[in-house]
Structure formats: C-alpha cells, structure tokens
Structure 1
Amino acid sequence: MSSAKTLAVLALSTLSGLATAVAPSFCTAIGPAPDDFSCGKVGSISNPSSKVGALERLSFDECANWCGTNDYCAAFKYVEVGVGRCEMYNNALADLGFTDDENNGEVFYDVGCFDCYANALVDVDFTSPDSVSDWSLTSDPKGSFYLDHDTIAGQPVFLIIGNAASGSAITTYAPTFQLEADASYKLEFKMRTSLPTQTDLSLLTFGVATDDEVVFEYSPEGGVQVADWTIYTAQFTIQAREAGEGSLLFKMDASMLPLNWYFSYIYLQPI
C-alpha cells in the first residue's frame, strides 16, 4: 500500500463530522522589499498622533497580520523586547516624521511591505491555548502520542508529544475548506523538535485530503532556518478529480527516543 493510501486509511475515522470555519488573513513580507515603501526601518517618528492602537504579546508575524488586514492601519512599529509590542498608525511612514536612528531599536514597516491574503484556508498561530481545540489526535497504540499547548522560549506552540518507541498517530484539523480544480496551494509551517540534531524528519508527513483520500502529502526537507526554528514550505496543484471539501492532517511515526514536535504556526493558502 502506498504511503498516501496508508495515510488516508489511518485518517478515515478522523475526517468524519468535521466542522467548517473561515480562516483569517495571512500576511507575508514581499521580497525583495518594494522601493516605494519603508520596510524594516530602524529609528523614531516625530508625529505619533496618527497612532490608532497598540497590542502586546504578539509575534512579528501577528503584528503584520493585524495591520495588513485592517483598513485603518497604514504602518506599524514592532518592539520585540519584552512582551512583543505592536503599535499601528493610520499614516504611512513618510508622513510620520520618521528619522533614521540605528541606536533606537524601534523597527517600522509600511503595510505595503506585505502581501496579505484574505482567502487563507488554514491560518493558525497557536497564540491562545484554545487554538488547539480544533485539532484531534488518534494514536496506535493508544497513548503513544499526545497533543498539548505550551510555551517554548516565550513563544506559544502546538505540541505533539511522542513517548513510545513504536506506533503512529494522525492529527487532524477540524475546520474544512474548499479545494478548487486546477488551483495551486501553498502549505507553510514553522517547526522545531526536542532533538534538533537527532530528528528524522521523514517521521512526519503532512497530508491534504478530499473525500477521505489523501491528494497531497509532504515530509519536511530543506527549509529556512530562523534562530532555533525552521520554516518549511511546499506547493501543490489540485486536479479536477481531486477537487472538493478538503481537510488538513499529519501523520507521525514514533522515534526510538522520546521526541516532542513544536509548531509555531501552520497555514495553507491559494497561490
């Protein structure tokens, strides 16, 4: 039996009765940065009166999402030190009286530095412990894997605990989404493990299924290193026979050692 078929069979019991939900928007930095916007400028502003709000305990990505998906926000400042503070402004940086100052430590961005997608199919950053309630896990043997919410180095994460030398588990995201024929999609997730130098990444396989049949699967490889994390990205195209109501899931096989998997965010969007 092929790995895709195996993943589909293991997932059958977890794909029934799933609720639908609309995922929020997701913003990604444009690279290279556009010349007509200020992207990652370090300094200060002399006209803070256009400040429209501030949020704390946000990651940089979450700050960009907030600004990029609200019409009132034209620029934002992000301060990573401490709790992660996001200040939003209704004017572009050029109108805020910005002055370069490398010693200031405050980083500013125009919202035009980002592409924002309002049609993300899956967009989960696990900021809240409630974010894991949309995920379910079935393991064989029972109890060989667990899911949880935790904080690693100050960052909230979705945690899968593997504490057995053998066995496997399927973790399924409950909200479903529509996959269109001949459309292409991008899967991205930010991940680390408790054994960064000893993890066999082939133990993890992401899958996208329609009608209980896996139409795309991906095991992490390569990736972009960001501090102690790695960002993995994969793209796929849906054929006409594969279109329909989709579900996101991933399969984990046990390692010979206790192994924890940490996810900072997971998203899936049309491209």
Structure 2
Amino acid sequence: MTTPTWDPAQYLRHADHRARPFADLLARVPDLPSGRPRIADLGCGPGNVTALLAARWPTAHITGYDNSAEMLDRAHVEHEGPTRAGGHLDFTYADVRTWAPSEPYDLVISNATLQWVPGHAERFAEWLKGLKGGGTLAFQVPGNFDAPSHRLMRALADRHGVADTLRHEDAVLTPAAYLERLTSLGCAVDAWETTYVHVLHGEDPVLDWVKGTGLRPILTALADTPQARDTFLRDYRAALREAYPATPHGTPFPFRRVFVVARKEA
C-alpha cells in the first residue's frame, strides 16, 4: 500500500460531513479519570476534529499525532496553543503503525485513521498499557470498502496497474470482532456501526470526496505520470456518475462507519 501525500485543503472540502462521525464517537466516550486529562489523537490530520476534544475537555493536554507534514503544518497554524480553561493543544509527527504511549494517557482516540494501519488490532494491547486505570481507547473507521466507490476504484486501479496501492476489504474488522478483541484484553466495550447518507453537492461530488481520502494513494502513485492520472480520473469519474446519480436535491452518498469505545478497568 502506497503512503499517500495528503492535501489538507482537499480533505477539508467536506469537513462538516467528515467531522460528524467523530462527534458521534465523542458523545459515547465516558468521563475521563483525571481532572486535567492527557489525550492522544492518532491521525489528527489538519487538527479540525482534534479541536473538538479541547471543547469537551478544555483543561486537557491534547497531542495530535500524524505522519503528514502537510496536515501537521495546517494543524500548527490553525489549532495549536492554549485552550480556554488552561489546557493545551499541540501537534507532532508520529507514525501510528509504530506509535506507543511514552506516558500515561486518559484517552487515546482516533478518527478515520486505523484503516491505513495494517494489523492495527494487534496494537491494542500496547496502547491499553499506556492508558491510566479507567481510561478509554476510542476510534471510528470507515466500513465502506465494499461500496461502489471503492469497488470501482479497485477495479480501475487493477486495470491501470496500481492496485497494490490500495486498502482492501480486510482493512477494518467488524464491530463484533473489535468487541471480542478488546473484551479479551479486559475492557468494557461499546461497539456499533452506522451508515450515514451524506447528501453531497457540486459537480462530481463523490469524486471530490474520495480525492481527499481513499483516492490519495493512487493520486500519489500516478503523480509523476499526469497522462495516466488524468485517464484514471476520467474513467473513475464516469463510473461514479453512474453509481451515484445526482438528484435535484444533491447526490446521496451512503457511507458505513464502525465505532468502538473501550474502557480500561479502573
């Protein structure tokens, strides 16, 4: 799988829809054990949802971790600094594939990142060791790898010789599988799934959406061959228009997501 180059501006074009699952996840995270919590946000991106953590826990020291210099630059400029109640929000480089807690955390949280981490469920035990008693591991991941947007992407990627850049159907587990993994590690687990039906607007809005996320590995792989990139985008655009027809009210885009909140014993 290719490590993608990220474009914060493209990612944030659908920021309202992308932030909604994080808000739904955050609503199920219980109170944290510390009065001044220590929080890690794995895969913080441009920091827009990390800032929601500071709104929920304004006294917390929150660190957003990401491996994209482009995303971190945006986060530093727009969100870093003290919070309204004496907490602090900062951002730093880390690769979630190898990240491990270097201090005790009250909350380790991740929004739409772990699907990029092969074998991420094997990292749970190490992350839980870094949680304080009563602390929480919480994350949401897209569960739409069998949706037309991704099936068409994989088929075209295979035709264009870049299929090895992509995540596949096994990139994430089912809610039941996550529950089993984490209960076996001693956590109380709340796991569920939701299919959002986003109504997107503009010309080719589904293509515009995936350009910010799932399509990044292909765009990165084809960056040095503009003609091949443009041919791929032409074919993918046509396929998406057929799979997701526009209506007078916008283009409906069903999107399944998987959520997990796992609380460590006190």
Is the TM-score greater than 0.5? no
TM-score relative to the length of structure 2? 0.30
Structure number with larger C-alpha Rg: 1
